[in-house]
Amino acid sequence: MEFVEPDDEPKPYRQPPLPDDRLWRHPSEIGPKRPSARRQLWVVGVASAVAASLLSTGLAVVAGSLLDAGGGSRPADTAGVLPTPMFVGAGADVVSIADRVRPTIVQLKVERSRSGSGSGVIFRSDGHILTNAHVVEGAHEVTVVLATGRQVPGRVIGSDADSDTAVVKIEGGPFPFADLGSATNLKVGQEAIAMGSPLGLSGGPSVTVGVVSALHRGVTTRTGRTLVDMVQTDAPIAPGSSGGALLDAGGRVIGITTAMAMTDAGAEGFGFANPIDAARSAAEQLITTGRVVTVWLGVEGDDLDGPTAQSLNVDGGAMIQRVKADSPAERAGLAARDVIVGVNGKPVTSMGMLAMSVRAHRPGEVCTLDVVRDNQHHGMKVTVAERPAGS
């Protein structure tokens, strides 16, 4: 399986891939849809996504207020409150949601060595736009196309490759802005609505509907980078939609669309979104300080496999394969083969969930890990630190 960057202008023809001796491919290597006797499944990587083993290379953390002093990312009377996502049973009124949210979705025309387009979400009334880092990577000019069709120049405020998050600013306003929710309490099967500007088409954003197909997905790109804790959805995500919004049934943004799965026969009908909690954290830091502060736990590992989880009598966990020297994990006494099954009393069933749990901490804060070692549970305190350069 391979992920395709859904952010490039469509081409009339692309060179078919050469005989394959590797798993991951760049979107430029994907040829036209064609029949295949052996339907090979692969995922095309999204550039500048989360680095391999997010826990070893750094985790985005919240720095400063999540509120917008110049307009806010949510109304003042709900400031600081993360709403519980609505579920399928709530009966999403997609027409009303589309009418309300479409004005906040923009198309980004990016000029660089190879021109392309992507999407973005206005999340502040003063014109701050949330998108993917790979959408604006290498850009020397960005034009923002509003839902009305009006084109205005955009300025890249900052970009962070590790979290695949970027912020673009347009002048003027006040602009309509999206209501940012939370991915913390998402449930598999709840309704999901995707909005973006696919294929560089004019006429405003597109709307597709599906469900949250899976949570805490971890997938690796052809460049070796790993997307961790992704929200999987079957709401169709087409090229050009990267940086768009994934919404819950209440019209709140729960993710920023990042990648879609492909086979040699074409798109496989499901895509992935970066949880809004991590994207918002990175965006606020880029606006406030110009960079994303990351914390360093200093471990590499994998999801605990089923048989091992059964033998340990746990629902899952994060199995440590390697502890880096002079890291917070080493100082806390963590070791290879330790299994982390909880953080601060909340269960952890995968490396992705561990990543999301640690993102809530700032450098210097202490978190308590529930660690299984030699079939015994141990409470271990770890003081997370800012990631050293080059780690």
Per-residue pLDDT of the chain (391 residues; tens, 9 = 90+): 555 555 544 444 344 344 444 334 433 344 444 444 334 433 343 322 332 233 433 332 222 222 222 333 333 333 333 344 444 444 569 999 999 999 999 999 999 988 889 999 999 999 999 999 999 999 999 999 999 999 999 999 999 987 889 999 999 989 999 999 999 889 999 999 999 998 777 788 999 999 999 988 876 655 566 677 889 999 988 888 899 999 999 999 999 998 877 666 555 678 899 999 989 999 999 999 999 888 889 999 989 999 999 999 999 999 999 999 999 999 999 999 999 999 999 999 888 788 778 877 889 999 999 999 999 999 999 999 988 876 6
156 domain residue, yes or no: yes
Last residue within a domain, chosen from 247, 273, 290: 290
**Are 247 and 307 found together in one domain?**
no
Look up tokens 């406030």; give the residue: 288
C-beta of residue 168 within 8 angstroms of C-beta of residue 129: yes
Look up the domain containing 322 and give its range.
294-386
What SS3 class is residue 361?
A: coil
152 domain residue, yes or no: yes
Hey, how many other C-beta atoms are within 10 angstroms of the C-beta on 140? 9
Last residue within a domain, chosen from 263, 290, 317: 290
Q: How far is CA 178 from the centre of its chain?
A: 17
- Say which CATH number the domain at 275 has: 2.40.10.120
Q: Whose CA is closest to 254, among 99, 83, 89?
A: 83
Q: State how many domains the chain has.
A: 2
**Are 3 and 70 found together in one domain?**
yes
Q: Which amino acid is at 387?
A: R
Which two structure tokens, joined as six digits, stand for 326?
């002079």
391 domain residue, yes or no: no
335 domain residue, yes or no: yes
Alpha helices in the chain (DSSP H): 54-57, 94-101, 133-136, 276-289, 306-312, 328-332, 351-358
Sheet hosting strand 385-386, strand order edge to edge: 59-60, 294-296, 385-386
**Are 189 and 68 found together in one domain?**
yes
**Catalytic residue positions, numbered:** 134, 164, 242
**Are 344 and 213 found together in one domain?**
no
- Residues 72, 78: Cα–Cα separation, whole Å: 10
**Are 302 and 221 found together in one domain?**
no
**Are 175 and 236 found together in one domain?**
yes
